[in-house]
Each structure stands twice: as structure tokens, then as C-alpha cells.
């Protein structure tokens, strides 16, 4: 990009009396559903059944229906969900699993926990998702006799190109496991996240679109044998009390978290629609401010590049992420104005210190590395107001003017 930009017209300014614009404000959501949540928690407390049980079973049925899958298996976290999905898919020590280098750490660490070795392919710079072209190049040019699975991540709430990945899986005899941690309610074509791979892992960490009040996760699958296997694995490898068929883990879902998620599940469709509407509004404000590119402009003619949504994707905008020129300076400027931002993710997985044994070096995945230097997540949640969004974009325009 160029090092200077001409004066741009800011969007109609919002009220400048904001004490802050948070990256996420869960209090606003809680106030809407507080009576229902407290009643659900009281029901669990009255039942005295706190781990697994009827609430968890009901949530599993409801989420399986929501995702269009046969089964759902609740567990303690999204990280555990990834491990359960990998283990039940038959990933073993000595195997390899291909995934993206641009994701949260758990996408790769769960592979290691299953005993396998992560291998990476670069991302599509327009969507930030695993690039099918790079995956195909790897599959056709590298030895892959130890490769057992593909783990595409539906990053920021947008599904990866599952048509291409399913084609690769069929041709190269691989299993596809969806990392849908950020994508509850997202779709690829007519298929929902959680229904396209042999299994899919979801996270209900408190910042997610569908969020618990602590850690919680879930795996979906259409394979009844895999479902039964994951139910054993989450419970110390046991289907019958005190009889352990294999080594598993303590990864049971708490009933209170399940009860809270059941309350919120009724609203997730509307909340996701609100996120999509706010993403459109951001796009409009950035365009009005002259901060973004038109089709006729060269790449270095504007300081902001907006995310792209694939034609087949129904994006649920877990995050609204821009590419920003002088990203770190912009973030400091916004912080001074008490506007919340975050960098998802500042260090690509192949450059994490714990993965040095994989043998990757800087420059191996240039698009992931470039994204790590440019991405900035802006405030995004269903209750975010138009005035707050105007103020965010006005402030960004002020920085670049």
C-alpha cells in the first residue's frame, strides 16, 4: 500500500459522547433473556442433576436438528470437541491431518492431542479460509500416504469451500472434519455447518454467537458408530459405569451450561441475522467514507480492505474483520478512543514456538503471514447500534485523514 492517503469524507458522524464502543457486550444480550436464563438454571438446581442428564440430552437433540445432523454429542469445550471428532474419525499416532495455519491454536493442537501431525496449506486472501487450490497442490505434489483427514476451519463465521474439500476427500480417501467453532448457523449452499463432514466441532465459549456462561462444546455427526464412540470417549472411555472399554477423557457437558444454551438456541437465528445486517452496515459506512476499494482501483489505493463473502456462503459474522494499512497504529488510535478491537490471529500456527518441530519457516505460507499482520476485528454483536458503528468508521476515517 502507499504510505499516504488523500483526505476522505467521513460518514455522517454518530454522537461523540460514547464512553466506549466495546468489541463485544454480553450484558446487553443477558438483559434481554435474563428471566429465561435464571429460570433454566433454577430448574437444573432443583433437579440436582448437574452433569450430562436430561438437559444435555435435550440440547443434543435440538442442536442436531438445528445443524441437520443425525447426532450431537455435548462435551466440555470446543477444544475437546475437535479432539473427540478426530479420535472418533480414526486419526491415530503417526497420521497427518491437513488444516489452515490461520486459525485459533486449538485447530492444530487438537491434532497433536490425537497423536497426529499437523500439516498446513495456505489461505485464500479474500475469505481467510483454507484455500482449496493450495490444498489440491499439496495433495498432487507431495507424498501423503500418512494423511488421514482434512480439517477446514469455517473462520469468522463463513464456511470454507466444502464442495472442493469433499471432492478431495473422495479422490484421496480422506475424512473431512469441520472446525465449526465460530460458525453455528452458517451454511454452504443449502447445507448447514455441522452437516457436511464426517463430524464437526462447535465451541460455545462465552464470546461465540451461541455462547454458554463458561466452557462448553459439541460434536455433530451422521455416523451412529462415531456418535457412540464419542459418547464413550467423553466419559473416560466408558459406556457402562465402571467398565472402561478404552482410554478416554473427562469431557462431560454440565447441565447448567446445556440449559443456558437451550434458552439461547431459540434466538440464534435472529441474532445471526442481526450480525449479518450490521456487517452490511459496516460495508456501507466504509464505502461512504471512501476508505475501501472499488473494482477499478489498484490494491494500494485505499487503507482498508473488507472481507469477502463467497457466493455459496451464508456468513454469520462471528467476527467482522478488516485488513488495515498500519494496523497496529490504527488499533492504538481506536483504543485511545475506547473502541474495542482484537487481532485474530497475530501469529500463524506454523510460526508458533511449540510447532518448531514441524519444520516450517517464515515465508512458507505468505497469505496467512500477511493476514496476521493486517487483520483487525471491529466491534460486532447483535445489539451494536447504528450510531456506534458510525463512530467506529468515523474514527477510522479520522486516523487515515
Backbone angles phi, psi at 211, to 5 degrees: -125, 140
Please compute Rg for the chain using Cα positions.
22
Q: Is residue 289 domain-shared with residue 358, that is, in the same domain?
A: yes
Does residue 351 contact residue 33 with C-beta atoms inside 8 Å?
no
Task: Give the model confidence (pLDDT) of 156-166 as tens digits.
Answer: 999 999 999 99
pLDDT of residue 63: 98
Same domain, 132 and 213: yes
**Directed axis angle between helix 54-67 and helix 26-47, to 10°?**
130
pLDDT of residue 391: 96
Is residue 170 domain-shared with residue 43, that is, in the same domain? yes
Indicate the range of 144-153, 181-190, 234-243, 280-289 predicted with least confidence. Answer: 234-243
- What is 49-101 written as a DSSP string? --BSSHHHHHHHHHHHHHHT-SEEEEES-HHHHHHHHHHHTT--TT-EEEE-S
Q: Dihedral (C-alpha) 126, 127, 130, 134: value to the nearest 10 degrees?
A: -20
In a domain, 152, yes or no: yes
Is residue 393 very low, low, confident or very high in pLDDT (cuts 50, 70, 90)?
very high
Angle at which helices 132-141 and 162-172 pack, to 10 degrees? 10
Tell me the CA distances in angstroms from 13 to 222, 275, 289, one per residue in order: 50, 21, 11
Residues contacting residue 324 through CB under 8 Å, at least 6 positions apart: 303, 304, 330, 374, 375, 376, 396
Q: Which domain holds residue 67?
A: 29-265
At 18-64, the pLDDT tens digits run 679 999 999 999 999 999 999 999 999 999 998 989 999 999 999 99
Cell numbers for 153: 476451519
**Do 241 and 279 lie in a common domain?**
no
Backbone angles phi, psi at 247, to 5 degrees: -80, 125
Domains identified in the chain, total number:
2
Is 49 in the same domain as 184?
Answer: yes
Determine the Cα–Cα distance for residues 63 and 218; give it in Å rounded to an integer.
Answer: 9
Three-state DSSP at 244 gives: strand
pLDDT at 221: 98
- Asked whether residue 10 is assigned to any structural domain, the reply reads no
Q: Do 349 and 298 have their domain in common?
A: yes
pLDDT at 299: 63
Question: What is the domain-level CATH number for residue 314?
Answer: 3.90.1150.10
The answer, yes or no, to whether residue 296 has pLDDT greater than 90, is: no
353 pLDDT more than 50: yes
pLDDT of 401 higher than 50: yes
Which residues, 6+ apart, have CB-to-CB distance to 358 below 8 Å?
117, 118, 119, 350
Give the pTM: 0.93
Region 99-128: mean pLDDT is 97
pLDDT of 4 higher than 80 = no
Question: Do 206 and 342 lie in a common domain?
Answer: no
Q: Above 80 in pLDDT, residue 247?
A: yes
Question: What is the spatial distance between Cα 236 and Cα 259, in angstroms, rounded to a whole number?
Answer: 23
Asked if residue 278 and residue 171 are part of one domain, the reply reads no
What is the chain's mean pLDDT, rounded? 92
DSSP string, 116-158: -EEEE-PBPTTT-SB-HHHHHHHHHHS--TTEEEEE-B-GGG-
pLDDT tens across 307-331, in order?
Answer: 899 999 999 999 999 999 999 999 9
- pLDDT band of residue 13 (cuts 50, 70, 90) is very low
Residue 304 and residue 170 in one domain:
no
Amino acid at each position: 500500500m502507499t504510505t499516504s492517503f488523500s483526505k476522505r469524507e467521513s460518514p455522517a458522524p454518530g454522537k461523540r459522547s460514547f464512553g466506549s464502543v466495546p468489541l463485544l457486550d454480553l450484558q446487553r444480550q443477558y438483559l434481554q433473556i435474563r428471566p429465561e436464563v435464571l429460570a433454566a438454571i433454577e430448574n437444573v438446581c432443583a433437579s440436582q442433576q448437574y452433569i450430562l442428564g436430561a438437559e444435555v440430552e435435550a440440547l443434543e437433540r435440538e442442536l442436531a436438528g438445528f445443524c441437520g445432523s443425525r447426532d450431537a454429542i455435548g462435551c466440555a469445550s470446543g477444544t475437546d470437541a475437535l479432539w473427540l471428532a478426530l479420535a472418533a474419525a480414526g486419526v491415530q499416532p503417526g497420521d497427518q491431518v491437513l488444516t489452515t495455519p490461520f486459525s485459533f491454536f486449538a485447530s492444530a493442537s487438537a491434532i497433536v492431542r490425537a497423536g497426529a501431525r499437523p500439516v498446513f496449506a495456505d489461505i485464500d486472501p479474500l475469505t481467510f479460509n483454507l484455500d482449496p487450490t493450495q490444498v489440491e497442490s499439496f495433495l498432487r505434489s507431495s507424498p501423503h500416504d500418512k494423511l488421514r483427514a482434512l480439517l477446514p476451519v469455517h473462520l469468522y463465521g463463513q464456511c470454507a469451500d466444502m464442495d472442493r474439500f469433499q471432492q478431495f476427500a473422495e479422490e484421496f480417501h480422506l475424512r473431512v472434519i469441520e472446525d465449526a467453532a465460530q460458525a453455528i448457523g452458517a451454511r454452504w449452499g443449502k447445507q448447514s455447518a455441522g452437516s457436511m463432514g464426517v463430524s464437526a466441532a462447535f465451541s460455545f465459549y462465552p464470546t461465540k454467537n451461541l455462547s454458554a456462561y463458561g466452557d462448553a462444546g459439541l460434536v455433530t455427526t451422521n455416523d451412529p458408530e462415531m456418535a457412540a464412540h464419542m459418547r464413550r470417549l467423553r466419559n473416560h472411555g466408558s459406556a457402562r459405569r465402571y467398565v472402561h472399554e478404552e482410554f478416554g477423557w473427562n469431557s462431560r457437558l454440565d447441565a447448567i451450561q446445556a440449559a443456558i444454551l437451550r434458552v439461547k438456541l431459540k434466538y440464534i437465528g435472529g441474532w445471526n441475522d442481526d450480525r449479518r445486517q450490521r456487517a452490511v452496515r459496516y460495508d456501507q459506512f466504509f464505502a461512504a467514507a471512501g476508505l475501501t476499494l472499488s473494482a477499478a482501483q489498484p490494491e494500494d489505493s485505499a487503507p482498508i480492505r473488507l472481507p469477502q463473502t463467497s457466493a455459496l456462503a451464508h456468513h454469520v459474522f462471528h467476527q467482522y474483520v478488516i485488513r488495515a494499512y498500519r494496523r497496529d497504529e490504527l488499533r492504538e488510535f481506536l483504543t485511545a478512543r475506547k473502541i474495542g478491537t482484537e487481532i485474530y490471529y497475530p501469529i500463524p500456527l506454523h510460526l508458533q514456538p511449540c510447532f518448531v518441530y514441524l519444520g516450517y519457516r517464515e515465508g512458507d505460507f505468505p497469505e496467512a503471514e500477511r493476514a496476521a499482520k493486517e487483520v483487525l476485528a471491529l466491534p460486532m454483536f447483535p445489539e451494536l447500534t447504528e450510531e456506534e458503528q458510525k463512530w467506529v468508521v468515523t474514527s477510522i476515517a479520522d486516523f487515515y485523514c
